[in-house]
C-alpha cells in the first residue's frame, strides 16, 4: 500500500515523507463510510417513492438531512480537537449503526424522517474527522498527494456504495440497508483495533471562539454576499442534481433501453453488473448505480485540474457552470427524444466535468481571497454556502420535480435547473463586475 508515496507532484521520492500507518487506516475508514452513506442516500428517493410517499415529503427529509450533515462538522471538529479523533469517531459509529438498522424496521413517514436525520447527525459528526486525520498526518512534502488519495477514497466509496446497494435493493431494501450497517460495523472494529490517535498540537478551540470567528468572516459584507450567492446559485442546483438524478432515471427513463445500449458497447458482463432483471425477466439499469459522478471524477479529475490550472479561478468557475448546465439540459432531453435514453450518460458526464472544474476551483479561490492569517477561517466558512444550497435543494427542487411529474413532464425540472446554472454564470460574472474581483493574496 505504501508504494503510493513514491510518485506524484514532481517531488523526488527521497524528499517526500512516508505516510504513517494511521493515514492508511483513516483512508480505509473513509471508503467504508462513503460506501455506507451513499449506498443509502442515492437510493433513498427511489425507496421513499416505492413506499408511496410524495416528492414534497422526500424534499423535506433531503433538506433537513443535508442541513444536519453540513452544520454539525463545525461542532464535531471542535470536540475532536478537544477529546481526540478516535473517541469522536467511535461516537459517530454509535449514532450511525442503530439508525441504519432502524431503517429496516420503520415504514412510517415520521419514523423514516427521524431515522434519516439520525444518519445525517452521525455523518455530520464523522465528516471532519478523516480529513482532520489526513491534515495532521501529512506535511508540506506529501500534503497534495495525501489529500489526492483521500479524495480518491471518497469517490471509490461513493461509487461502489450505490452500485452494491442498487443490486441488493432489487432483492430487498433491507439487504441494502444491512450492507451499509455491516460497513459501519467493520469501521468500528478497524477504529478500535488499528486507529492510533495521531500526534498533534491540541488547538482546543472553544465553540464560542468558532462562532466568533464565523461572525468575523461574515462581517466582511462582500464575502458574506459571495457565500450566499454561492449557496443559491452553485450548491443549490448541485445538490438538486444528486437529490433527483437517481429517482428520475429510475422512474422516467427507459432503463431497459439503457441496459441494451450499455450491453451493445461494453458487453453483457459489464451491463449485468450495473443492472437487475425485473419480475418479467427484463434487465434494467438501476437508477442509483449510474446517477452519480464518482467514477468519472476518479478517472478524469487530474487531467481536468491540469487543463484548467492556467485559467483564472473565476473564469474556470463560470465555464464549469455552463458545462454543468448543458449536462442537466441533456438529462431532460434523454426523456423527450425517442430512443434517446442513453443521452443520460452524456448528461451525467458533462455535469461531472462541470463539477470537477467548479468545486475545487471555488475552494481554491476562497483560500486565495482570504487574508493570509485567516485562510483557514474563510475556507471553513465555505460550508455555510454548502449548507444554504443543501437546505434549500429539497424544499425547492424535489417538490418542483413532483409538480413537473404531475404535469406529465418530469424532464422540465432539468430545463429549469439548466437555466438556473446559466443564470449562475451571469450572476457571478455580474458580481465580479460590480463588487470587483477579490484581490488574491500573494502566495
Residues spanned by the domain of 358:
207-443
Reported confidence tier of residue 75, pLDDT bands at 50, 70, 90: confident
**Residue 103 contacts residue 115 (beta carbons within 8 Å):** yes
- Which of 180, 205, 230 is where one domain is finished? 205
Q: Could you tell me if 101 and 218 lie in one domain? A: no
**Helix (H, G, I), strand (E, B), or coil: what is residue 30?**
helix
Q: What is residue 326's predicted lDDT score, i.e. its pLDDT?
A: 97
11 and 159 in a single domain? The answer is: yes
pTM: 0.86
Binning pLDDT at 50, 70 and 90, where does residue 15 land? confident
- List residues bridging with 276 in a β-sheet: 284
Cβ pair 90, 187 in contact under 8 A: no
* Residue 57: closest CA among 66, 65, 48: 48
Q: Are residues 97 and 167 in the same domain?
A: yes
pLDDT band at 54 (very low <50, low <70, confident <90, very high): very high
Helix (H, G, I), strand (E, B) or coil at 285: strand
Same domain, 232 and 186: no
| Pair 31, 53 in one domain | yes
Residue 300 and residue 212 share a domain: yes
pLDDT tens readout for residues 354-386? 998 888 788 777 767 677 667 677 777 778 899
- Residues 245 and 282 grouped into a single domain: yes
Same domain, 286 and 323: yes
Percent above pLDDT 70 for the chain:
91
Mean per-residue pLDDT over the chain, rounded: 86
Shared domain for 363 and 269, answered yes or no, is yes
Q: Indicate if 226 and 188 belong to the same structural domain.
A: no
pLDDT by residue (tens digit) across 97-140? 999 999 999 999 999 999 999 999 999 999 888 888 888 888 87
CA atoms of 400 and 393, how far apart (whole Å): 10
What pLDDT does 1 receive? 35
Beta carbons within 8 Å of 408's beta carbon, 6+ residues apart: none
How many CA atoms does the CB half-sphere of 341 hold within 13 Å? 20
For residue range 291-339, list pLDDT tens digits in order: 878 888 888 877 888 888 788 878 889 999 999 999 999 999 998 766 6
Res 203: pLDDT: 59
Same-domain status, 176 and 246: no
**Residue 65 pLDDT level (bands cut at 50, 70, 90):** very high
- List own/partner pairs for 23-26 with CB under 8 A and 24 or more apart: 23/133, 23/134, 23/137, 23/138, 23/146, 25/190, 25/191, 25/194, 25/195, 25/196, 26/130, 26/133, 26/134, 26/137, 26/195
| CATH at residue 288 | 1.20.1250.20
Residues 413 and 258: beta-carbon distance below 8 Å: no
Q: What is the mean pLDDT of residues 241-250?
A: 92
Q: Are 76 and 210 in contact (CB under 8 A)?
A: no
> Over the Cα atoms of the chain, what is R_g?
22
351 and 214 within one domain: yes
Over residues 175-187, the mean pLDDT reads: 95
In the 8-state DSSP scheme, what is residue 442? P
Output the DSSP codes for 312-353: -HHHHHHHHHHHHHHHHHHHHHHHHSTT-TTHHHHHHHHHHH
Using alpha carbons, select from 339, 381, 334 the residue that is nearest to residue 362.
381
Are 346 and 330 a contacting pair, CB within 8 Å? yes
Of 205, 230, 253, the residue at which a domain comes to its end is 205
Residue 402 grid coordinates: 413532483
φ/ψ of 277, rounded to 5, equals: -80, 135
Cα atoms in the Cβ-side hemisphere of radius 13 Å centred on 10: 0
Total structural domains within the chain? 2
Domain end marker among 151, 186, 205: 205
- At residue 12, does pLDDT exceed 60? no
Farthest-apart Cα atoms in the chain, separation: 64
What pLDDT shows up at residue 139? 80
Amino acid at each position: 500500500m505504501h508504494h503510493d508515496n513514491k510518485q506524484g507532484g514532481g517531488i523526488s521520492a527521497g524528499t517526500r515523507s512516508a505516510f504513517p500507518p494511521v493515514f492508511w487506516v483513516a483512508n480505509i475508514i473513509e471508503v467504508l463510510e462513503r460506501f455506507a452513506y451513499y449506498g443509502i442516500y442515492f437510493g433513498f428517493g427511489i425507496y421513499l417513492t416505492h413506499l408511496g410517499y410524495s416528492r414534497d415529503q422526500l424534499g423535506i427529509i433531503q433538506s433537513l438531512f443535508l442541513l444536519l450533515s453540513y452544520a454539525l462538522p463545525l461542532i464535531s471538529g471542535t470536540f475532536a480537537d478537544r477529546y481526540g479523533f478516535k473517541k469522536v469517531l467511535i461516537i459517530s459509529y454509535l449514532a450511525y449503526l442503530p439508525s441504519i438498522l432502524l431503517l429496516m424496521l420503520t415504514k412510517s413517514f415520521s419514523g423514516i424522517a427521524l431515522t434519516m436525520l439520525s444518519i445525517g447527525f452521525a455523518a455530520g459528526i464523522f465528516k471532519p474527522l478523516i480529513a482532520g486525520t489526513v491534515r495532521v498526518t501529512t506535511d508540506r512534502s506529501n500534503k497534495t498527494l495525501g489529500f489526492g488519495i483521500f479524495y480518491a477514497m471518497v469517490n471509490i466509496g461513493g461509487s461502489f456504495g450505490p452500485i452494491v446497494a442498487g443490486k441488493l435493493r432489487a432483492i430487498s431494501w433491507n439487504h441494502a440497508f444491512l450492507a451499509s450497517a455491516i460497513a459501519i460495523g467493520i469501521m468500528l472494529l478497524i477504529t478500535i483495533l488499528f486507529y492510533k490517535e495521531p500526534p498533534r498540537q491540541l488547538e482546543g478551540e472553544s465553540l464560542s471562539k468558532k462562532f466568533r470567528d464565523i461572525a468575523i468572516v461574515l462581517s466582511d459584507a462582500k464575502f458574506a454576499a459571495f457565500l450566499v450567492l454561492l449557496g443559491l446559485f452553485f450548491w443549490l442546483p448541485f445538490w438538486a442534481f444528486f437529490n433527483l438524478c437517481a429517482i428520475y432515471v429510475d422512474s422516467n427513463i427507459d432503463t431497459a433501453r439503457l441496459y441494451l445500449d450499455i450491453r451493445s458497447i461494453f458487453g453483457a458482463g459489464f451491463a449485468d453488473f450495473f443492472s437487475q432483471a425485473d419480475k418479467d425477466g427484463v434487465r434494467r439499469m438501476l437508477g442509483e448505480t449510474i446517477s452519480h459522478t464518482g467514477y468519472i471524477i476518479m478517472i478524469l479529475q487530474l487531467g481536468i485540474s491540469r487543463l484548467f490550472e492556467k485559467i483564472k479561478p473565476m473564469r474556470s468557475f463560470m465555464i464549469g457552470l455552463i458545462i454543468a448546465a448543458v449536462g442537466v439540459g441533456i438529462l431532460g432531453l434523454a426523456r423527450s427524444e425517442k430512443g434517446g435514453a442513453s443521452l443520460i450518460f452524456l448528461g451525467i458526464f458533462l455535469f461531472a466535468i462541470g463539477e470537477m472544474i467548479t468545486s475545487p476551483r471555488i475552494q481554491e479561490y476562497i483560500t486565495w481571497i482570504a487574508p493570509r492569517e485567516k485562510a483557514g477561517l474563510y475556507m471553513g466558512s465555505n460550508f455555510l454556502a454548502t449548507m444554504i444550497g443543501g437546505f434549500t435543494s429539497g424544499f425547492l427542487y424535489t417538490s418542483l420535480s413532483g409538480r413537473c411529474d404531475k404535469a406529465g413532464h418530469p424532464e422540465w425540472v432539468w430545463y429549469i435547473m439548466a437555466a438556473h446554472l446559466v443564470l449562475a454564470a451571469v450572476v457571478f460574472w455580474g458580481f465580479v463586475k460590480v463588487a470587483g474581483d477579490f484581490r488574491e493574496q500573494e502566495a
